[in-house]
């Protein structure tokens, strides 16, 4: 049994360290044991798994931005929040960069389905000021 498990681990490690073409199909099979020490009924039945690797073509996007784009009459101490989402593999949190009026600002990111909810607190703006928020982020997979 140990040989079969080691064989599967070697296959998985080979997949991780190899360049894999998209739309490639892989089949792995595990199970059984030829050792007499592991006689029935404790022998694992054979399990086969087939999977296909597909390209993640979805780009991250912003949703639920507060305050809304081009909003007026916003209080000077209103927190800024938004969701950065990706319909493919997800968003890589370490790639999120938020700038307010050209300056990188600290934020809090909370994992949500498909990405992160981002909140920027403790900013106070002048009355009548136009505020520009720029967000960068990348896919979880390259």
Residue-wise DSSP of the chain: -HHHHHHHHHHHHHHHHS---TTEEEEEEE-----TTS-TTSSPPPEEEEEEE----PPPEEEEEESPTT--S--TTPPEEEEEE-SSS-EEEEEEEEEETTEE---EEEEETTEEEEEE-S----TT----EEEEEEES--
Could you count the other beta carbons within 10 Å of the beta carbon of residue 119?
14
Domain ranges of the chain: 2-53, 61-139
**C-alpha to C-alpha distance for 100 and 123, rounded to whole angstroms:** 9
pLDDT in tens, the chain (142 residues): 444 444 444 444 445 545 666 667 777 777 665 556 656 666 667 778 887 777 778 899 999 999 999 999 999 999 999 999 999 888 999 999 999 999 999 999 999 999 999 999 989 899 999 999 999 999 887 6
pTM for this one? Answer: 0.66
């Amino acid at each position: 049994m140990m040989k079969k498990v080691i064989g599967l681990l070697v296959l998985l490690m080979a997949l991780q360290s190899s360049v894999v073409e998209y739309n490639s199909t892989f089949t792995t099979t595990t199970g059984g044991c030829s050792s007499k020490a592991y006689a029935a009924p404790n022998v694992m039945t054979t399990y086969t798994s087939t999977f296909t690797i597909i390209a993640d073509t979805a780009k991250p996007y912003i949703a639920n931005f507060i305050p809304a784009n081009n909003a007026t009459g916003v209080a000077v101490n209103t927190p800024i929040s938004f969701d950065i989402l990706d319909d493919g593999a997800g968003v890589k949190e370490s790639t999120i960069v938020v700038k307010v009026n050209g300056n990188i600002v600290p934020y809090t990111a909370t994992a949500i389905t498909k990405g992160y909810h981002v909140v920027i607190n403790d900013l106070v703006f002048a009355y009548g000021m136009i505020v520009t928020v720029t967000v960068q982020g990348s896919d979880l997979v390259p």
